[in-house]
A and B are shown apart, each in its own frame.
Chain A
Amino acid sequence: MPTVFHVMVLDSSFLISFFLDGDENFGKASAIFEKNLDEEMVIIDAVLFETLTVLNYKRGMTTVRTTYDQIVSTANFTIVYLTEDERKEILAEFLEQKKKMSFEDIAVVHACKKALSPVLSFDREIQKLLEEKRET
């Protein structure tokens, strides 16, 4: 019986591809969204901040504000604000890593592992780490 996922975790690579106008991966990102029109999708606060930071660097604050408004007004998205305990757990995992991953990447892997959810990401490091964690 196939596994049915109800919640997907979004990472910044995916969000940037979708929300950065002119990104080469936009077609791929929108096609994936089209296949998952009714899925609930989680955006961790740290990932949202990272995404908005990159968009500010690339396109400026007008794009950032428009993107934020689009995210908060779309019913499928839920922004998850990490608790102090969760941040401490993720920080411990961040300090233990042997790769060059950001706190936000580790937070995404942490959330996927906890919720047994798939990730929507174009970052191969995240996908690799997630596979490793699932095998252990």
Chain B
Amino acid sequence: MSKLINVADAIYEDLTRLKKAKDASYSTIISELLAKNRQAPAKTQTMSDLIAWAKERNRNFKGKREKIDHDLIAHGVSRDGS
């Protein structure tokens, strides 16, 4: 006996797509589903916009200026282990 289930349009769309892509690998389908939910924002700004944003943010910075020894940073920790 079939049972009627009410699903949201978005879920129905995904299920339909999965059925169509039955030959695709599991990872491909999962990647597609994840990508759909995590779409990157559109590339809306130029380098000049980015620089202006960063300069404004630095002007408003109230903390102490920081000097990082980049030669010593490796994945957020210093190379000498300290």
**Contact at B43–A74, with CB atoms within 8 Å?**
yes
Per-position contact with B for A97-110: 1 when CB-CB < 8 Å, else 0?
A: 00011101100000
**Contact at B46–A37, with CB atoms within 8 Å?**
yes
Question: Across the two chains, which residue of chain A brings its CB closest to B40?
Answer: A72
Per-position contact with A for B42-64: 1 when CB-CB < 8 Å, else 0?
A: 11111111110111011001011
Question: Across the two chains, which residue of chain B brings its CB closest to A21?
Answer: B61
Known: A23-B66, A33-B50, A70-B53. A57 touches B76 (CB 8 A): yes
Known: A16-B68, A22-B58. A74 touches B45 (CB 8 A): yes
- The contact size tier of chain B is 20 to 34
A94 to B76, CA, bound (A): 18
Known: A26-B54, A33-B51, A105-B74. A75 touches B63 (CB 8 A): no
Q: Does B70 contact A (CB under 8 A)?
A: yes
Q: Does A90 contact B (CB under 8 A)?
A: no
Known: A12-B73, A13-B73. A73 touches B44 (CB 8 A): yes
What would 4 more interface pairs be, CB under 8 Å, given A53-B76, A74-B46?
A21-B57, A30-B54, A122-B70, A123-B70
A36 to B41, CA, bound (A): 23
- The contact size tier of chain A is 35 or more
Give me the interface of B with A, judged by CB distance under 8 Å.
40-51, 53-55, 57-58, 61, 63-68, 70-71, 73-76, 79
**Contact at B43–A50, with CB atoms within 8 Å?**
no
User: Min CB distance, B82 to chain A, in Å?
Assistant: 13
Q: Does A20 contact B (CB under 8 A)?
A: yes
Specify which of A33, A75, A122 lies most central, judged by the most chain B CB atoms within 10 Å of its CB. Answer: A75
Chain B contacts for A17, CB-based, 8 A: 68, 70
**Contact at B48–A37, with CB atoms within 8 Å?**
yes
Chain B contacts for A102, CB-based, 8 A: 74-75, 79
- Across the interface, B79 reaches (CB within 8 A) one of A20, A36, A38, A100, namely A100
Q: Does A84 contact B (CB under 8 A)?
A: no
**Contact at B75–A22, with CB atoms within 8 Å?**
no
Chain A contacts for B53, CB-based, 8 A: 70
